[in-house]
Amino acid sequence: MFRKTALILLVLATVAKTYGQAISRDESEQRAQALLKQMNLDEKVGQLNQSAGIQMPMLGSEKPDTLIEQGRVGSILWLTNVKEINRLQHIAVEKSRLHIPILFAFDVIHGYRTVFPVPLAMASSWDPGVEEQAQHFAAQDARAAGIEWTFTPMVDIARDARWGRIVEGAGEDPYLGKAMAAAQVRGFQGDQLGPDSVLVCVKHFAGYGAADGGRDYDSSYIPEELFRNVYLAPFYAAAKAGAGSFMSAYMDLNDVPASGNKWLLTDILRNEWGFKGFLVSDAFAVGSLQVHGYAKDPSDAAYKAITAGLNMDMASQTYTKNLAQLVKDGKVTEAQIDAMVLPILAAKYQLGLFDHPYADESKVEATLNRPEGLTLERKLAARSMVLLKNDKQTLPLKTSIKKIALIGPLGDSTHDIEGGWTVEGLFGNGSKSHPVTLLAGLKNKLPNAQISTVSGPELSRVFPGLLDQLAGKKVLPPPTPQETADWIAKVKAAASDADLVVAAMGEIASMSSEASSRATLDLPGIQQQMLEAAVATGKPVVLVLLAGRPLDIRWPAEHVPAILEAWYPGTEGGNAIADVLFGDVNPGGKLPVSWPRVAGAEPLYYNHNLTHEPEDRPQFTSRYWDIQSKPLYPFGYGLSYTTFKFANLKLSQASIGTDGSTQVSVEVTNTGSVAGDAVGQVYIHQRWGSASRPVRQLKGFQRVALQPGETKTLTFPLGKDELEFWSPQTKNWVVEPSTFDVWAGEDSTAPLHAELTVTQ
Ligand code: BGC
């Protein structure tokens, strides 16, 4: 009785103090400590359990109600029905002994109702402010709809386009990745985690993108120097930006599964980086420690995960079933359990869940349908697109065009324009947004033009993905020769009759993301044949690529005059593409990946080391004999409807000590006749030292708008943060005396050069 009164007083004090305002982490920890003292072992273990809120084939059909009442559910995922969220929360708050609210989690990856461009597209904007804005908007939507925790940002470096999850991250570069990671943390959490924000979960810790052969879930083997200099960099940036939680990855990292890897979860994240939040496993990953051949049985899996420092078990119920016994057997101490529970409770206090556990159902729809979301999305989508080719100023198009042939399977697909991982579309529930397809966007732009469409056969994976199955999608056989011939004839007829052909081609959304790796990168199905038929008519052709990864477009790159990479641009995608095609928006996006010519060139990345035969003896250089080894388009590349000139690269000091810093400045001028955005990029190379260093590394970038004839001076710091690296010889972070090359310009091949000397 006394305990109950004390708890109510504590809750009331909390309400009085924090209504609508954030509390510090210290204060939240003190409250969590007080609550922890009242909890029994089962309740503590309950906070370490995340239950599934929906029924999936591999999960039982039991609802979590009873577990919640017993205080054995700390968090629930995969639930977006706000009524059900509130119903379960009522059970937790009213019927469980200590009234501890549940933390509801979902993957709010690129928007909630209003779907923003996929993360790879956002990274192509080279504008972290854009990413922050989008995620802030998504956070407001999510919180209003009862989601307090998102499994975002995905910050895995991806150097291999075969890997399906490349679409979910910021591409191949650690510096760009760091900027995008921190921006997303700020977008969701604000300056500080509070009652109006959404807790982020930085994933997948760590090295998931280096999967062998680009096959999702496969093992990663990453030497420590590469791990620290490249793969961990965005995670570190997210931690420093205040990320409240991390997700451990599925795969074996150097033979120790990430979810049971003490070196990773405790030594690096907590001890080295000072991370004070909590870690959740990826879905079922604790149970999977046994499947990996790392844990002997479920009890051993629970033991290995908890002692590695993993706070919460996502969905596998391995903690629920084994942890209490491990404590009773003396294998795990209750103090260890307390340390795991504390940051979870603290996060609940910080999020204000004890004061406001319920979503206001009457306000959800109004929030999710805020019209400003669509305006923002259209703007951001256009900012994310990358113009890959534009021969003879094919683009921008003239609004006087009368007849357009829109060919390809993605021209009028409402689902694919938004890409995968959409909140409302995720489990086949169907999106409640109203996506604007490219066909609709073209019609909006040219209401009087005649637009004929030839979709071609529906695209299909050879092996279905989980999401395809949940959505009831079947694998389709490839078209027969007769069907193919019929489609090609239709393309020829439509193209011959039009002034212009727009080809909307690439991949359907379920061809990238989780469990969606490919061995080839070509345009699936008969898309290239359709494109060839259109080009053969002699009519101007514009290829709009919709995909979650760079594709093998060697043929189009040679034969199609204009190519626009639109990725998956989101709800307003069709309007945004039309804005770019007709020049209402001048494209300014840049590639966050090196564009491979062919799948066999992967992994491909610009920041590789020099070989002993760099370039002068072609027969000996590190290359393939059947294909050019350079990417089709380099990292950082993207065209504009105007041109830019970079000049006057200067260093404020050409020589500095190892603890010094200098400032790089470079002028950029819009030398064309229309306004446009340039992205100034700075790269460095350390010529010698305790280790070989990459030929180039991005160390600064800035997107700026320039009127015709306008010049701006861009400045970038070069100091310890930019010059240091983790040396495999000294086994620590070093800035070494050496000579550094410095380049500035439009992409990773920028020629403008200066030299920096770093002395002891
Ligand atoms: C994915 C994660 C995701 C989790 C929860 C897993 O299958 O790997 O990225 O956050 O499911 O939906």
What's the average model confidence in pLDDT over 682-694? 98
Per residue in 653-672, pLDDT tens?
999 999 999 999 999 999 99
Query: Which residue, by CA, sits nearest to atom 11 of ligand 1?
Result: 283
Helix, strand, coil shares, percent, the chain, to 5: 35, 20, 45
Residue 566 has pLDDT above 90, yes or no: yes
CA nearest 716: which of 752, 680, 747?
Answer: 680
Crossing angle (nearest 10°) for helices 128-144 and 371-384? 150
pLDDT number for residue 62: 66
Are residues 504 and 407 in contact, defined by beta-carbon separation less than 8 angstroms? yes
Are residues 681 and 701 in contact, defined by beta-carbon separation less than 8 angstroms? yes
Residue 745 has pLDDT above 90, yes or no: yes
Mutate to test the pocket of ligand 1, among 203, 216, 422, 517 (most ligand atoms within 8 A of CB): 203
Q: Name residue, tokens 């370039």.
A: 615
Q: What is the dihedral of CA 243, 249, 253, 255, to 10 degrees?
A: 140
Active-site residue, from 107, 141, 173, 282: 282
Mutate to test the pocket of ligand 1, among 163, 218, 282 (most ligand atoms within 8 A of CB): 282
Are residues 124 and 545 in contact, defined by beta-carbon separation less than 8 angstroms? no
Query: Which residue, by CA, sits nearest to atom 8 of ligand 1?
Result: 282
Mutate to test the pocket of ligand 1, among 106, 107, 208 (most ligand atoms within 8 A of CB): 107
Amino acid code (one letter) for 402: K
pLDDT number for residue 510: 93
Ligand 1 centre to CA of 47 (Å) is 20
Q: What is the DSSP letter of 595?
A: B
* Strand locations in 524-621 (E): 541-546, 562-565
Residue 426 has pLDDT above 80, yes or no: no
Confidence of residue 429 (pLDDT cuts 50, 70, 90): low
Per residue in 202-248, pLDDT tens?
999 999 999 999 999 999 999 999 999 999 999 999 999 999 999 99
Q: Which two tokens stand for residue 100?
A: 């501890």
Query: Which residue, by CA, sits nearest to atom 7 of ligand 1?
Result: 283
Per residue in 159-205, pLDDT tens?
999 999 999 999 999 999 999 999 999 999 999 999 999 999 999 99
Ligand 1 centre to CA of 155 (Å) is 13
pLDDT number for residue 425: 79
Nearest ligand 1 atom, CA 151: 10
Q: Which two tokens stand for residue 364?
A: 């959800």
Backbone angles phi, psi at 715, to 5 degrees: -125, 145
Quick one: 614 exposed, middle or buried, by C-beta within 10 A (0-12, 13-18, 19+)?
Answer: exposed
Residue 543 has pLDDT above 70, yes or no: yes
CA distance 73 to 79: 14
Whether 282 is a known active-site residue: answer yes
Residues 6+ apart with CB under 8 A from 26: none
Residues 6+ apart with CB under 8 A from 650: 664, 665, 666, 754
CA nearest 459: which of 417, 409, 514, 520?
Answer: 409
What's the average model confidence in pLDDT over 559-578? 98
Per residue in 466-516, pLDDT tens?
777 777 788 999 999 999 999 999 999 999 999 999 999 999 999 999 999
Confidence of residue 11 (pLDDT cuts 50, 70, 90): very low
pLDDT number for residue 13: 42
CA nearest 670: which of 638, 647, 644?
Answer: 644
Confidence of residue 550 (pLDDT cuts 50, 70, 90): very high
Percentage of the chain beyond pLDDT 70 is 95
Residue 647 has pLDDT above 70, yes or no: yes
Residue 2 has pLDDT above 60, yes or no: no
Confidence of residue 524 (pLDDT cuts 50, 70, 90): very high
Query: Which residues share a beta bridge with 257?
Result: 252
Backbone angles phi, psi at 102, to 5 degrees: -85, 145
CA distances from 35 to 45, 73, 717 (A): 14, 16, 46
CA distance 393 to 562: 8
Confidence of residue 12 (pLDDT cuts 50, 70, 90): very low
CA distance 116 to 377: 6
- Look at 700 and 54; give whichever has higher pLDDT: 700
Ligand 1 centre to CA of 204 (Å) is 9
Per residue in 16-59, pLDDT tens?
333 467 899 899 999 999 999 999 999 999 999 999 887 655 55
Per residue in 56-82, pLDDT tens?
555 555 678 889 999 999 999 999 999
Ligand 1 centre to CA of 115 (Å) is 18
pLDDT number for residue 7: 44
Pick the range with the lowest mean pLDDT from 176-180, 260-264, 615-619.
615-619
Crossing angle (nearest 10°) for helices 527-536 and 481-496? 40
What's the average model confidence in pLDDT over 554-560? 98
Query: Which residue, by CA, sits nearest to atom 10 of ligand 1?
Result: 151
Ligand 1 centre to CA of 49 (Å) is 16
Angle, vertex CA 564, rays to CA 558 and CA 565, nearest 5: 105
Quick one: 342 exposed, middle or buried, by C-beta within 10 A (0-12, 13-18, 19+)?
Answer: buried
Pocket lining for ligand 1, CB < 6 angstroms: 77, 107, 151, 203, 282-283, 514
Residue 571 has pLDDT above 50, yes or no: yes
Query: The sheet that has 738-745: what strands, in order across it?
Result: 655-657, 752-759, 738-745, 676-686, 697-706
pLDDT number for residue 69: 95
Angle, vertex CA 459, rays to CA 455 and CA 462, nearest 5: 160
Q: Give pTM, 2 decimals.
A: 0.96
What's the average model confidence in pLDDT over 407-418? 95
Query: Which residue, by CA, sits nearest to atom 2 of ligand 1?
Result: 282
